[in-house]
Amino acid sequence: MDLKPPEHIKNYVNEYVGRFNKIYPQLGNLTMPAASLYAQPITSTAIFKASDGFALFYLPPNQLKERPEIIYVDCDTIPLAQLVQSVTVNYIKVLLPPTEPIRADFSNGEQIFNIPPDLPIDIMQQVKYQTLNPELTNAVLRDGNLEIVGMAITPTVHFLDGVPAEILPTRYRVFSPVVFLPTNEVLLQYQWVFADILWKPDEINLDSDAAINYAESDLQVLRLGFEVGVHLNHLYQNPYEAVAQNLMQACHRFEMLINDPKTIESDIQTFLENPSHRFILSPIHKAIFSQKPLGGFKKIPDFTVLLPDGEYHFIEIENPHREIYQLKGEEMSAHLTHALTQVLDWLQYVNDNRDTVRREDGLATIYEPSGEVIAGRDKHLGHTAARRFQFYQSENRRIKIKTYDRLLLDAYSYIETLRSFNGQT
């Protein structure tokens, strides 16, 4: 039995926790009670080694006692599915494909992943640890029955001709559910805030860059989950896919809106002001403000994005159906030129009045903001206009132009990137 975790797992955990603890304050402006339980540092990580993978449990500060930064438990004779079910006292179950080849007709809704039965106490005690929040146990004794959340998770499985062939290398992220008490208190269901279940970890990239990318994407998913209103039970169990599905639905609605010939600029403004749609403008952000004034209402960008690094990004939107390049000569249209001039004026104003903007307009961390115009459709670009459009993009560092098609494509690409971080393809 090993007394220390494998070096690559330990290094991954240290890099992940270091990055997460640096950026988690970005969640500070989420006001929902449940969100506050996730907006806290990771002070300790429990690493459980199973026979076929690892379970990593990230723990928040504990007011009762100090914990070591890494707690290692070697259970390498116990399958990962049994380990996870044991330490969560049967509240998290792992759905695995059948050991015998079986063909399923998914078109008829046939299921091949069955929920395993509860493990008996003597089997669970082989692990010797359980991770339910002791405060929750005390609350159950005090208040009677409470709704404790159960969930079922499954690794990514490769199918060959409709037959499950093998489990693929998978990093599966789980959030601890929260329990709402009759006293209006909110508790984490487990002692941990997040968990990563790793199947075939030796085949997963867990180097320093991967750890940093995972920490940043996990935080983005958590923020987006609350912003777009993902149902909490879905967010706990499969956060990446739950968020991706919600974002995809929003993108479909936006695509219908911009394709409607009756849509005008104010319709776009109203749609994107909805908190569950704002990610389309900038998936990675700390906050997005609608029509936040500069200089005492002298200048009003359609949207102002507060980026994770504290800098700001101003966005001007235009009617998607107005031509952005003239047919004759393929020069920029007057309204596109005007929109770009507006953005340039905002940036110039900040440059000339930075202290005033920080103090009076509340953009405390602004220094050198960027800007963007969203206008028109790709079909408005002829061959020469498309080349000029592309050249403008490459040559202008602080002011970008984006068609609505490009905006939508970027949003769809971001969704697929999210899915890739959780083994969903």
Query: What pLDDT digit, counting tens, does each position of 371-409 carry?
Result: 999 998 888 777 776 777 777 776 677 889 899 999 999
Q: Is residue 2 one of the residues assigned to a domain?
A: no
Q: What is the pLDDT of residue 48?
A: 96
Q: In terms of pTM, does the model score above 0.75?
A: yes
**Beta-sheet pairing, 170-175 with 163-167:** unpaired
Q: Is residue 202 one of the residues assigned to a domain?
A: yes
Q: What is the pLDDT of residue 380?
A: 75
Q: How far apart are CA 145 and CA 180, in angstroms?
A: 12
pLDDT greater than 80 at residue 259: yes
- State whether 48 and 110 are in the same domain: yes
SS (H, E, C) the chain: CCCCCCHHHHHHHHHHHHHHHHHHHHHHHCCCHHHHHHCCCCCEEEEEEECCEEEEEEECCCCCCCCCCEEEEECCCCCHHHHHHHHCCCCEEECCCCCCCCCCCHHHCCCCCCCCCCCCHHHHCCCCCCCECHHHHHHHHHHCCCCCCCEEECCCEEEECCEEEEECCEEEEEECCEEECCCCCEEECECCCEEEEEECHHHCCCCHHHHHHHHHHHHHHHHHHHHCCCCHHHHHHCHHHHHHHHHHHHHHHHHHHHHCCCCCHHHHHHHHHCCCCHHHCCCCCCEEEECCCECCCCECCCEEEECCCCCEEEEEECCCCCCCECCCCCCECHHHHHHHHHHHHHHHHHHHCHHHHHHHCCCCCCCCCEEEEECCCHHHCCHHHHHHHHHHHHHCCCEEEECHHHHHHHHHHHHHHHHHHCCCC
**Beta-sheet pairing, 186-188 with 178-180:** antiparallel
Q: How far apart are CA 425 and CA 416, in angstroms?
A: 7
- State whether 284 and 155 are in the same domain: no
**Beta-sheet pairing, 287-290 with 303-306:** antiparallel
Query: 424: pLDDT confidence band, cut at 50, 70 and 90?
Result: very low
Query: 207: pLDDT confidence band, cut at 50, 70 and 90?
Result: very high
**Structurally, how many domains does the chain consist of?**
2
- State whether 55 and 119 are in the same domain: yes
Q: Is residue 403 one of the residues assigned to a domain?
A: yes
User: Could you tell me which of 153, 147, 281 has the C-alpha nearest to residue 224?
Assistant: 281
- State whether 288 and 147 are in the same domain: no
- State whether 271 and 197 are in the same domain: no
User: Could you tell me which of 91, 119, 112 has the C-alpha nearest to residue 233?
Assistant: 91
pLDDT greater than 80 at residue 249: yes
- State whether 27 and 171 are in the same domain: yes
- State whether 316 and 404 are in the same domain: yes
- State whether 254 and 200 are in the same domain: no
- State whether 179 and 271 are in the same domain: no
Q: What is the CATH number of the domain that holds 268?
A: 3.40.91
Instruction: Find all residues with CB under 8 Å of 361, minimum gap 6, and list them.
Output: 292, 293, 294, 295
Q: What is the pLDDT of residue 99?
A: 60
- State whether 168 and 27 are in the same domain: yes
Q: Is residue 317 one of the residues assigned to a domain?
A: yes
Query: 367: pLDDT confidence band, cut at 50, 70 and 90?
Result: very high
Q: What is the pLDDT of residue 423?
A: 57
Give all strands of the β-sheet with 370-374 in edge-to-edge order: 287-290, 303-306, 312-317, 370-374, 399-402
pLDDT greater than 90 at residue 336: no
More confident residue, 37 or 2: 37
- State whether 196 and 276 are in the same domain: no
Q: Is residue 423 one of the residues assigned to a domain?
A: no
pLDDT greater than 50 at residue 109: no
Range of the domain at 334: 248-416
Q: Is residue 230 one of the residues assigned to a domain?
A: no
Q: How far apart are CA 74 and CA 127, in angstroms?
A: 9
